[in-house]
Amino acid sequence: MPSGQRSGPALLLVLLVALAGCTSRSSDPGAIAAPSTSIAPLGSPTVGGPAVTFSGNRPQVAGHPAASSVLDVTGTGLQPSCQPVTERSDPNLVSILWHCGSQVTAATVTLSGRPVELGDILKGDYRSYLSSVATTQFAYENLAHAATTDFSTWYLTPAALAVVFPDGIVSYPIPSLSAYLSDPSSL
């Protein structure tokens, strides 16, 4: 068998191994569906955390006015048509995602009202790891030239870190981030 014919299945196997545990969701509803390794959380995004309600697109975190205030700043700055969703609410933090047409905005705050940055939860060379996984995922979806270096929009679900890239959302299961977690017990 010529060597070119052997490399196709080997490359497919390498891609499948690299994609194990990672999925993406395109921001285009008509795009290719996510692979069957989807890690969408089962059940509610609330894991022992406070209830989150919405007044329009402004979140209210029950019993935590400081968290509500910080999230309210983000919600107030968005178009009234933006649809908020609670992605995670636990005893430590709340993560909200707003769908604004084809645009997505997200905010994660501690219950004491401190905004959470990626550098607060991840350490080391996590940016290279996130970018590499996203590049592989988008190549799998025939988006080989997708930009994968902007980590400004992200949110947490009970099971994963989700990063919003221009061409879609890539989810990183929390266990796949173990080498980069600053404090594994906080997630």
The H or E element spanning position 127 is helix 126-140
In this prediction, residue 45 has a pLDDT band, given cuts at 50, 70 and 90, of: low
Which pLDDT tens digit goes with each residue over 115-149?
Answer: 999 999 999 999 999 999 999 999 999 998 899 99
User: What's the pLDDT score for residue 1?
Assistant: 45
Which pLDDT tens digit goes with each residue over 50-77?
Answer: 999 998 889 999 999 999 999 999 888 8
User: What's the pLDDT score for residue 84?
Assistant: 93
Contact 88, 162 (CB under 8 A): no
Q: How many percent of the chain have pLDDT more than 70? A: 75
Which pLDDT tens digit goes with each residue over 11-41?
Answer: 333 333 333 444 444 443 323 333 322 333 3
| Cα–Cα distance, 105 to 155 (Å, whole number) | 9
User: What's the pLDDT score for residue 164?
Assistant: 95
User: What's the pLDDT score for residue 22?
Assistant: 46
Which pLDDT tens digit goes with each residue over 151-173?
Answer: 999 999 999 999 999 999 999 99
User: What's the pLDDT score for residue 165?
Assistant: 93
Task: Tell me the two tokens of residue 79.
Answer: 């178009």
User: What's the pLDDT score for residue 46?
Assistant: 64
Q: Spell out a b/e string for 11-50, using b for 16 or more CB atoms within 10 Å of the CB, else e.
A: eeeeeeebbeebbbbbbeeeeeebeeeebeeeeebeeebb
Residue 103 has pLDDT above 80, yes or no: yes
User: What's the pLDDT score for residue 123?
Assistant: 96
